[in-house]
């Protein structure tokens, strides 16, 4: 996200540029925070290293979704106010590779995943997530807080 | 009643931040401007941190304070230029320190994402707001709220929040 905000900061659309400029200030801390933990766990104990590598192997294929454009993103690019996500890939690779090297983790191959989420097509996991997120509102109909 | 711009400023002068009540919205740099718009007076506020739960409260507080004084004004939220901790007044920073929160440093000029993460600002020590020691360590980049980091003083051993520069 950080790279995307950095690019959108230069968008010709004033609203997008304002949101990007604001978000960029904050997201840098998220990136630093998550990177710190990646290094701490990856380059930690044998156990934390093994678990980090296993998580990375499991989750890395999903990163392919970063490079798929949603209809809204495609429309923004066509209108000259968006960002072609593929132009960010080289910088993203550099950030990820440097962090993984410091964390002593191996970069997995990013295969075996077809991105459909941005088209609104989700896996069965979403049903459970929605049920949990809606449980409070459903337990208290018309509740206001 | 038709109030003047000065009267609106005076009414909001001491309105405190709901999260950090020792500091006023004006000192935080949240109250940007009071102006006369097409439909009357407008109070311009700017969001501090995205998703900050205090933001809705701040808008409500501004509205009710004006209403209690019989002043009618519209509250306008403005995104650009984005709020920066550099707008915090020196008096406000001092109040933060006295309250136990280390105030933010000046934001670094034009740092790109890549430079920001690969070169953490180690040069600027964050002094402990309790004992003043610069011998402090970051425990977590996110503390009691998303806008603060959690630090620990190596001398007095006290943990403390650091308001991160944005």
Quick one: pLDDT at residue B115?
59
Q: Return d(Cα B130, Cα B138) in angstroms, integer.
A: 16
- The token pair that represents A1 in the structure block: 């996200």
Within a domain: A98: yes
Identify the band that residue A130 occupies on the pLDDT scale cut at 50, 70 and 90: very high
Quick one: pLDDT at residue A59?
93
Nearest residue on chain A to B120, alpha-carbon basis:
A32
- Any bridge partners for residue B104, and if so which? none
Nearest to B104 by CA among B81, B122, B87: B87
Q: Are A22 and B120 a contacting pair at CB < 8 A? A: no
Contact list, A3 vs chain B (CB under 8 Å): 113
| Spans of chain B, pLDDT less than 50 | none
Quick one: pLDDT at residue A29?
86
- Any bridge partners for residue B24, and if so which? B16
Within a domain: A42: yes
Q: How far is C-alpha B47 from the chain's CA centre?
A: 9
Q: Is B162 on the interface with A (CB under 8 A)?
A: no
Residues 6+ apart with CB under 8 A from B8: B34, B41, B43, B66, B71, B73
Task: Out of 3.90.1150.10, 1.10.10.10, 2.120.10.30, 3.30.300.130, select the CATH number for domain B5-77.
Answer: 3.30.300.130
Quick one: pLDDT at residue B124?
72
**Could you give the angle at the alpha carbon of A15 between the alpha carbons of A13 and A21, nearest 5°?**
100
Quick one: pLDDT at residue B116?
59
* Domain span holding position A53: 2-139
Bond preceding residue A60 cis, omega within 30 of 0:
no
3-class secondary structure, A11: coil
CATH number at residue A51: 1.20.1260.10
Q: What is the residue-averaged pLDDT of chain A? A: 93
Integer distance in angstroms from the first to the last C-alpha of chain A?
Answer: 31
CA distance B52 to chain A (A): 12
Within a domain: A43: yes
Nearest to B75 by CA among B115, B113, B32, B112: B32
Within a domain: A145: no
Within a domain: A27: yes
Residue B113 has its nearest CB partner, among A14, A31, A98, at A31
Portions of chain B given CATH number 3.30.300.130: 5-77
- Coarse DSSP helix, strand, coil percentages of chain B, rounded to the nearest 5 percent: 30, 25, 50
Predicted TM-score of the model (pTM): 0.80
Nearest to B138 by CA among A107, A29, A129: A29
Identify the band that residue A74 occupies on the pLDDT scale cut at 50, 70 and 90: very high
Q: Which of B44, B48, B82 should one mutate to test binding to chain A, selecting the residue with the greatest count of A CBs within 10 A?
A: B82
Within a domain: A144: no
Quick one: pLDDT at residue A92?
94
CB distance B101 to B160 below 8 Å = yes
- The token pair that represents B136 in the structure block: 């402090």
ipTM at complex level:
0.76
Residue whose tokens read 């709020």: B83
Number of domains into which chain A is organized = 1
Compute the Cα dihedral for B15, B19, B22, B28 and give only its sign. negative
Q: Are A26 and B113 a contacting pair at CB < 8 A? A: no
Quick one: pLDDT at residue B123?
56
Residue B116 has its nearest CB partner, among A17, A22, A28, at A28
CB distance A17 to B80 below 8 Å = yes
User: What is the mean pLDDT of the segment spanning A107-135?
Assistant: 91
Q: Is B140 on the interface with A (CB under 8 A)?
A: yes
Quick one: pLDDT at residue A132?
96
Q: Provide, rounded to the nearest whole percent, the portion of chain A with pLDDT above 70.
A: 100
CB distance B58 to B44 below 8 Å = no
Give yes or no for residue A133 having a pLDDT over 90. Answer: yes
User: What is the mean pLDDT of the segment spanning A63-76?
Assistant: 93
């Amino acid at each position: 996200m950080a790279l995307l905000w950095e690019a959108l900061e230069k968008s010709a659309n004033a609203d997008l540029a304002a949101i990007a400029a604001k978000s960029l200030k904050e997201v840098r801390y998220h990136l630093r925070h998550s990177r710190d933990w990646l290094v701490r766990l990856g380059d930690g104990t044998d156990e934390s290293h093994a678990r980090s590598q296993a998580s990375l192997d499991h989750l890395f294929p999903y990163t392919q979704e970063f490079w798929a454009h949603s209809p809204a993103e495609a429309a923004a690019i066509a209108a000259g106010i968006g960002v072609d996500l593929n132009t960010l890939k080289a910088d993203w690779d550099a950030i990820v590779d440097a962090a993984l090297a410091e964390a002593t983790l191996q970069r997995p191959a990013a295969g075996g995943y077809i991105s459909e989420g941005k088209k609104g097509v989700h896996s069965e996991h979403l049903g459970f997530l929605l049920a949990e997120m809606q449980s409070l509102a459903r337990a208290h109909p018309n509740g206001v807080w | 009643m038709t109030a003047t711009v000065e009267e609106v400023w005076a009414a909001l002068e001491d309105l405190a931040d709901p999260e950090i009540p020792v500091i006023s919205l004006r000192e935080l740099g949240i109250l940007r401007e009071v102006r006369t718009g097409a439909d009357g007076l407008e109070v311009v506020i700017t969001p501090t941190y995205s998703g900050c739960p205090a933001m809705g409260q701040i808008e409500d507080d501004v509205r009710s304070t004006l209403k209690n004084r019989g002043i009618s004004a519209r509250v306008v939220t403005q995104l650009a230029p984005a709020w920066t901790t550099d707008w915090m007044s020196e008096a406000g920073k001092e109040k933060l320190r006295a309250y136990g929160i280390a105030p933010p440093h000046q934001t670094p000029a034009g740092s790109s994402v890549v430079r920001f993460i690969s070169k953490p600002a180690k040069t600027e020590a964050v002094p402990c707001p309790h004992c003043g020691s610069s011998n402090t360590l970051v425990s977590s980049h996110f503390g009691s709220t998303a806008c603060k980091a959690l630090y620990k003083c190596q001398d007095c051993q006290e943990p403390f929040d650091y308001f991160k520069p944005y």
